[in-house]
Amino acid sequence: MKNPKTVNNEKHALIVCDMLNDFVLKGAPLEVTRARAIVANIKREIIKSRKKHIPVIYCCDGHRPADPEFSLWPKHAVKGTAGAQVIDELKPHKNDHMITKPSYSCFYKTTLDKLLKQLGITHVVLTGVATNICILYTVAEASMRGYKVIVPENCVAALSQRDHQFALQQMKRVFQVEIV
């Protein structure tokens, strides 16, 4: 007979993507106005996760001053600037994990996959901005790597409600993401 403790091998991690000053603060260079409405919800998820010893992983843009991304978007989250810092309300704790990313996906040219494997993670809960950009491409990469993905609807936001809804639909239809 199997030991019941070994039957359920699910292990969750919480990812907080791009909740940075340059995206969230009023008047920020790449302001996602709706991001301010999800701060309290993400905070609740973070507190809940820390209590349950679920790893909290912050994945944050960290651009070079002349990053090619700035031909499309206003200059934002330049490495070492205040704009690239996580907003005060969601400040990381010392046991949380910090990952800097150079582009949209939290996996692209980062150590996220390695970290998730080291921690034995099977399920990732994704929160942050923007639903149709960094979140969507992270969902895609996580799914293709075999992770189960859960997205709490009230913990993600986009520049427009249309982009937000479109992305949630794509996640459900294409990647079987659990939208909660």
Q: Which residues bind Zn ion (CB under 5 A)?
A: 61
Query: Smallest distance from the beta carbon of 103 to Zn ion, in angstroms?
Result: 7
Residue 102: partners with Cβ closer than 8 Å, 6 or more residues away = 61, 62, 63, 64, 67, 108, 109, 110
Q: Which residue lies nearer to Zn ion by CB, 61 or 141?
A: 61
Pairwise CA distance, residues 110 & 155, whole Å = 23
Phi and psi at residue 127, in whole multiples of 5°?
-135, 160
Q: Is 37 left (phi over 0), alpha (psi -120 to 50) or beta?
A: alpha
Q: Which residue lies nearer to Zn ion by CB, 54 or 112?
A: 112
Q: Which H or E element spans position 17?
A: strand 12-17
Query: Smallest distance from the beta carbon of 60 to Zn ion, in angstroms?
Result: 9
Q: Which residue lies nearer to Zn ion by CB, 137 or 166?
A: 137
Query: Smallest distance from the beta carbon of 40 to Zn ion, in angstroms?
Result: 24
Q: Which residue lies nearer to Zn ion by CB, 61 or 96?
A: 61
Q: How far is CA 123 from the centre of its chain?
A: 13
Query: Smallest distance from the beta carbon of 90 to Zn ion, in angstroms?
Result: 18
- The residue at minimum Cβ distance from Zn ion is 61
Structure-token pair, residue 71: 């031909």
Q: Which residue lies nearer to Zn ion by CB, 45 or 61?
A: 61
Query: Smallest distance from the beta carbon of 175 to Zn ion, in angstroms?
Result: 22
